[in-house]
Chains A and B, each alone.
Chain A
Amino acid sequence: MTAWLRAAFIVLVAACREAPVGPCPSPRVAGSAAEQAAPVVRRSPFDSAFASAGAEFHVPPTLLKAIGWVETRWEMVQGAEEFAGRAPAFGVMALRGAALERGAARAGVTPEAARRDPLANIRAAAALLDAFADEAAIDRSRNEQWSGVIARYSEIERPDGRAAYGREVDRALGGVPPQLARAPAPAPTACLPPPPPGSGGAPDYPPGVWRASPNFNARPSDSTGRVHVLIIHTCESNYTGCWSWLVNPASQASVHYVVSEDGNEISQLVHESDRAWHIAATYDCTLNRRHDCWLNGVQSNDFTVGIEHAGFASQGSFPTSQLEASATLACDVTRDRGIPRDWQHIVGHGQLQPATRTDPGPNWPWIAYVHRVQALCGETVVDDSAPFNDPALAAAAVPAAWTASDTTPDYYGGGYRWASTQPDATDVAAFSFRLAAPASRAVDARWTSGTNRSPHAAYAVISSAGDTLALVRVDQTTGGGRWRALGTWAFPAGWNRVVLLRRGTAGSVVVADAVRVRE
């Protein structure tokens, strides 16, 4: 653990706290759980040990507590050797190797006690920090001067890894994470996240933290390189372990975005315009509702944006705050890139690469997730089938006589319904959406096209008061698989409807797939 960074953090944090210009800017994802109590103000099983060891070795007890939180979440770990040459970590403070022995000696305990006994472990860590502080000749009364000591304690080599470690210590202390500046510069502006030095770029997603990965190349310049699918992953590790590995050239892997466990931070590693390395599979449309079969055989990295989520495909659920942060990001990416928000364009890694991957796993809440992305982007979609609808906002009523099908691809949801036109038919497929208050909304319809479709399919737009606002005819022989604008109307509150009429000249069919309502 590199102690450098830890110390730098504290310094900057202290500067932020003392800055006369008020709060540091809210860092990352809006609406996240950033307001949770800082770990150091919570009770821990080792509070008395932090207090006594801090007093004994003249180290702030809150600093010991914060480091313990970052290292082990206040658990007595018995580490295993991670790789040859790196000693295993022990105890609440994750002491290892020579550092453990040195701290133990200064605290007057045996190395074995420092490994197994919580108080001895915390005292050894405090003694080590004490030694580092002495060697650096810091003024211990000035918080910012601890930064180098923390960094040295961390033993992390990479500057950005040190920075992340420092941010974690800072968070544990209750401060707002500043980007790490190389030199202690406790000016109020240190609170503003500047682009990291040498990063060579800024994130496409402004709330994201730019951490450039060298593991990318250019997308194909032809149509196969057009970004139009978002791939959802799980890291199979924690957040820091995830991005820090993917920015290492040795990994030969990367992703555009990594979302932390609690959604409080999102890293961007590769520009969306570049080809990140997050999926090995070549595209096979049979794995994706036969969407865009012309891309079969194209390497899937060529046309996708990847989002990793800290966590595991095997986990039983995903934190609400992580899903919210991810959906906010997904809305941003899909809006910027013109990517439709449906289940052909927002897909799982495991779906496209079933031979070797399952992520994000069976418990990723696909329907709710896409609904949330849609809602954040100001749209509601009404599908022909209930499982794809949010019942609070959308409902469809399609007569049983209308046949269900998924033969023609690029439908919304799991398929569509069709019925033969009849001159005297009175039945309709009704797509209803609820508005909490009167509002103007743009309405789009979607169908799958074919030569047998009606060239004059009629959609009636009906308000919650029962007024028919318009009758719009469309040619369903073309334009399938996309949203086609019907128009914009002022709707009253309540359940408004768009209905597809079956009535028409005999000899063709009308296709009821979905209706979209946009702000």
Chain B
Amino acid sequence: MPRVAIVCALAPLIINACGGHEPRETGRQSAAAARVSAPQDTSFAGTTAPVQRAARPGTPPRVLRSVAATSGPGYDRVVFEFAEDSVPGYHVEYTTKPVRRCGSGDPVSVAGAGSLVVRLEPAQAHDARGNPTLAERERALGLPAVREMKLVCDFEGQVEWVLGVVAAGPYRVLASPGPGRLVVDIRHRP
């Protein structure tokens, strides 16, 4: 299992393949996202470098329908679940620049010493009739690694979250299909 995790972290291009090897989760409801059964090893190496995978051009937007955050053994897990069977393109990285709302340009601050930006594209967190698909767009978490998370962009096919973390430590990104889920695991500090 550690081998799988390392491959996933180092080679985003095969993340979906990795996801295919994961055991199926137990529940079908959105709330079960928190229990998504990606590898549960506690010793993944992770990375602090950007992790990204672009969507194929012309891909229709994925609709984000739930976000769940929990603390696991040795890491915190944030799960983005989509209405479709696959995930959109994504770009995850730590930033030291001010995080801004993509519409107003207003700066957004989050608790913690590090800011991990998770950008999803093409994606939206609202439906075709202008109703949000996520009621909670800011969340104080107080987990060991992730203190809070805020939705800073849901505009022109981009959804962007910023996770306020205790320190800019190693993380990994996993994607799994049916329904599409993007999992970001952030290691607890040793």
Give A contacts to B, CB under 8 Å: 80-84, 86, 156-158, 161, 215, 217, 233-238, 240-241, 243-248, 250-254, 277-282, 299-301, 308, 312, 314, 349, 356-357, 359
Contact = CB atoms under 8 A, between A and B. Distances in A.
Interface of B: 29-30, 57-58, 61, 63, 65-66, 83-84, 100-105, 119, 122, 124, 126-134, 137, 153-158
Nearest to A165: B129
A80 B129 CA distance: 15
Given A240-B130, A253-B155, 17 more contacts: A81-B83, A83-B127, A84-B133, A158-B130, A237-B128, A240-B129, A241-B128, A245-B126, A245-B130, A248-B130, A248-B131, A252-B154, A254-B103, A277-B101, A300-B105, A301-B105, A308-B156
A237 B124 contact: yes
Contacts of B128: 82, 237-238, 240-241
Given A82-B127, A237-B124, A250 B137 contact: yes
B103 A215 contact: yes
A296 to B, nearest CB: 14
A83 B119 contact: no
Contacts of A282: 105
B105 A277 contact: yes
Contacts of B65: 81-84
Contacts of A281: 105
Task: Tell me if A's interface is mostly helix, strand, loop or mixed.
Answer: loop
B66 A161 contact: no
The 9 closest A-B pairs by CB, nearest first: A253-B103, A244-B130, A236-B157, A83-B133, A277-B103, A277-B104, A253-B155, A82-B127, A280-B102
A81 B65 CA distance: 9
Contacts of A86: 127, 131
B83 to A, nearest CB: 5
Given A236-B157, A238-B128, A359-B156, A314 B104 contact: no
A303 to B, nearest CB: 12
A359 B103 CA distance: 14
A278 to B, nearest CB: 6
Contacts of B102: 253, 280, 356
Contacts of A243: 130
